[in-house]
Structures are given as structure tokens and as C-alpha cells.
Amino acid sequence: MSCTPFYGMGTPFDGTPFYGLGTPFDGTPFERLGTPFEGELEKSDCAALRNNIVVMMADFCVRYTALVDCYISNITKCLCDPCELVRRQTFILLSRLLQRDYVKWRGVLFLRFLLSLVDESEKIRHLADFLFGNILKAKAPLLAYNSFVEAVFVLNDCNVHTGHSSSQSSRAESRLFAIRGNDEKSRSKRMHIYVSLLKQMAPEHLLATFAKVCAEILASVSDGMLSIEDATGQSVLQDAFQILSSKEIRIPSNRGSSSDPGDMDEEGGGDSGSAAAAAARGRVITQAVKKGLIQNTIPIFIELKRLLESKNSPLTGSLMECLRVLLKDYKNEIDEILVADKQLQKELIYDIQKYESLKAKSTATETVSMMQRSDAFRSPGTSKAVTDSNVHSKVPGMLMSGNSKLDSAMADVVARATARSVLREVNQGGKTPPLSAMSVPKLKTSMGGMVSKGDRSAAVLESLRRQCFDSDEEN
């Protein structure tokens, strides 16, 4: 290996003898050397010693490939070492071993590598992005797909999943490589890892991953295998909702298969045929997604919704938000999808309409604000009324977007802006006082008494009936 040990760290024992001990014994049985090295790797407080032991054990991985699997778990612990240099060197050494097939992507190795994607060091994060995005995608394209659901359980330190419960890692080790917690920082770290894995998958694997998440996480909650009474179960279910509603797991319309149409076009010949074939594959996959959504996903969501509502779980809102996002592109088919639950159908329709209205209102407000800011760069002699009239004159041309909700929201925003402009002109730039601060004329009844608070409405109507208007005289 080309990595160098640490020297001169200012400690009485810097680990150099360990590195020297590991180099000359080509014929020494590894069993006699591995155990003391393993103990020192776990107990030592010296970063130089830990680094040199990792370098030495990486050399042993090349020489004793049949005996090193039991020690890989200990080497990977240095991926969480408090010293950044030890973490980076461990990552580089293991990456080289994996590329040269001295160590295989199996067991806990892949799952422990995931934490490097959210490491505190920017250099390690860049190395991990390159490893997962380039080397791993070409060398083991199915690894992200095969290990995705297990990664959700491992990162949340949940032992329900069978793959994780049969792992050789102890409870302490599993917590070391987990990102526990339902706080915003922990959720964002886990979601970054999930997104990185989803980006490595082909469209057909995205569809299969969607089905696996529904079957192995959502359905396990409905079946009672995954409890949502504890924090880890809630975190797993919350992550599942975020994954299913993420844009990375959806199949874009321009992605028909794992092959890139651009690559097929570069091969020459039959450009139009390749494009037509890619479009046909895209339509087939889209129909498969829709069919799977109708037949498999919706019944699981309905059953899970009933369970969460019976327990008054706060995750009910997350489930509804996830469903709204999933069905946003299929709102015309909601009647067909949700035949079994009419109440859920009404709630989803309401949520989708509310979402579209809020989005239209936000878009209209942002558009009018941008127009006002652009007109703010005017000469000092230009009045505010001229600016508002300019904005109002530009709006009719924008109300032909074809989106009725957006047009209505745009008209409402402009009407409010116009009303504020008129009030500013009337009040000469001052703020309009509240109604409670305005003076209200005192009214008298026909009996001559003062109006009480309870009879004020009736007295106002009576006063208006007795008042003469100019239109009455004209008639």
C-alpha cells in the first residue's frame, strides 16, 4: 500500500514499531498478529498508533485475504475516528482494497461507508461522493438497490429488519454507525444519504425500490412488526414517507430505461429509432408505475392511515402529505384509485386543491412583488401612484396563463395592491387607522333615548330609513 505511517507525533509511543512489525513477516500466521493489533486499535488514545495499525492491517488484507474478513469490522470503526486524518486514510485504504477486489462489498462494510457521505470533513465528503457516484456505480450497480431498505433501518438504529438483526455488529457498534434522532439535522443527514443512493439507480430499480419501501416498511407497521410506539420506529416510518415523496424516486418522463438515449445516439445510425424506442420504454414504465400505485400502494396507505388515526399518531399528517405528493400527478384518476375509501378521497382532493391554491397565491404575490421592485428604479419625480398604475396595466396580459387558480390569485393580489395604493393617496402617505380608533356618530332612537350597545344594529338601520338621499328628491 502507498499510504505512509505517522512519525514524530510527540508521544512516547507513536506506533512505528507496530508498522514495522507488520511488514517483514510474510510467512507468519496472521492469527498470531491480528488479536493484539485489534485490541490496540480499540483502546489506544494515540491517533498515530491507530493510523499505523490501520495501514498495517490493510497490508495484511492483501497478503491474507482468507483471514481478514473477521477484522474488517474493526478496521471500519476508524471511519468514525475522532481524528479527521485517520478517517480519511481509512477511507482511502478501504476504497483501494475494494477496487482491487481484496475486500468485497458485503456485510456491514457498505452500510458503514454511507456515513462518509455526511462526514464533518468536506474532503471526506468529496471522496465519498466520487466513490459512490463513479466507482461504485460502475463496479456494483445493484448494490445501492439491494441495500437500500436495510440502510434505512441501520441508519435509524432499528433492529426490526432481519438483515440488520443478523449482523455481527454489537449494539454499541450499531449505534456508532447510526444517525439516531428525529431532529432536523439528523433527518437531513439521513435524507442526503438516501438521495445519494437513489441517484445511482436505474429507473426500473427506482420502481422496485418504491415497492420495497411500501412492502417492507409501511406494511410492516400495519402488520405490527414495526412498532411506532418507540422513537426508532417513528423515525423509520418518517424517513419512508420522505423517501416516497422525494423527487429522486420518481421516474422523469425523459428517462425510459437504464440506458441513456444520448449514448445510443452517439453510436450512430437510427437516431429517430432510438428516440422512439426510449419514448416507448418511458411510456411502459410510466404505466407500470401507475398500475403499481393503484394495485399495491394505495391499499397499504389506507390501512396505515386507519392505524395511525386509531392511535392519534402525529405521523398521520406526514402520511397525508406523502399521499398528496404522490397523487398530484394522478388527480384525474383519484376516483379510480381510491374506490375503497371515499373519505380519504375527499381529504386528498381537498389537500391537492389547497396546495394548488397556496402555490398559485405564492406565485402571484412573488410576480407582483418583482414587478413593483422593477418599477422602483424610477426618477425621483415619479409618484407611487404611477408605479401602481404601471403594475396594474401589465397584469391583464398575464391573466391569460390558462391556469384559473393562478389567474384568480393574481387578480386578488393586484386588487389588494390597488386598494392599498388608494388608501395611501387618501391618507396622504399615512397609515389607515383601525376601525376602533375612528369616531362613530352617536345615534338616537325615535323615542329620544341613547342607543345601547345591544340595540346599535337596529338603531343604525332605523337611522338609515329616516335619512333623505338626493336620489329620492330626483325621483
- The C-alpha angle 235, 237, 241, rounded to 5 degrees, equals 115
pLDDT of residue 261: 44
CB count in 10 Å sphere of residue 112 = 22
**Confidence class for position 213, pLDDT limits 50, 70, 90:** very high
pLDDT of residue 54: 87
Cα torsion through 401, 404, 408, 413, rounded to 10: -40
| Residue that wins the pLDDT comparison between 456 and 291 | 291
Mean pLDDT lowest among 129-138, 190-199, 311-320, 430-439:
430-439
Residue found by looking up cell 429509432 in the block: 273
**Confidence class for position 370, pLDDT limits 50, 70, 90:** confident
Longest dimension (CA), the chain: 122
pLDDT of residue 86: 92
| Residue that wins the pLDDT comparison between 275 and 300 | 300
**Confidence class for position 85, pLDDT limits 50, 70, 90:** very high
Residue found by looking up cell 507525533 in the block: 9
pLDDT of residue 458: 65
Range of 14-18, 80-84, 297-301 with top mean pLDDT: 80-84
pLDDT of residue 48: 87
Residue 69 pLDDT exceeds 80? no
Give me the residues paired with residue 450 across strands.
444
Question: pLDDT tens digits for 377-386?
Answer: 454 544 544 4
* Mean pLDDT, residues 385-413: 58
Q: What string of DSSP letters covers 330-373?
A: GGGGHHHHTSS-HHHHHHHHHHHHHHHHHHHHHHHHHHHHHHHH
Domain regions of the chain by residue span: 1-103, 105-258+278-312, 361-376+384-431
**Confidence class for position 68, pLDDT limits 50, 70, 90:** low
pLDDT of residue 264: 45
Mean pLDDT of the chain: 74
Mean pLDDT lowest among 38-42, 54-58, 241-245:
38-42
Q: What string of DSSP letters covers 259-273?
A: S-HHHHHHT-S-HHH
- Which of 372, 375, 378 has the alpha carbon at shortest distance from 416? 372
* Mean pLDDT, residues 306-316: 90
pTM of the entire structure? Answer: 0.69
CB count in 10 Å sphere of residue 473 = 7
Residue 429 pLDDT exceeds 80? no
pLDDT of residue 172: 73
Question: pLDDT tens digits for 100-123?
Answer: 888 888 767 888 899 999 999 999
| Residue that wins the pLDDT comparison between 319 and 296 | 319
What is the SS3 assignment for 450? Answer: strand
Mean pLDDT lowest among 106-115, 293-302, 338-347:
338-347
| Residue that wins the pLDDT comparison between 457 and 361 | 361
pLDDT of residue 367: 76
Residue 256 pLDDT exceeds 80? no
CB count in 10 Å sphere of residue 346 = 12
Residue 233 pLDDT exceeds 70? yes
pLDDT of residue 147: 92
pLDDT of residue 406: 64
Residue 14 pLDDT exceeds 70? no
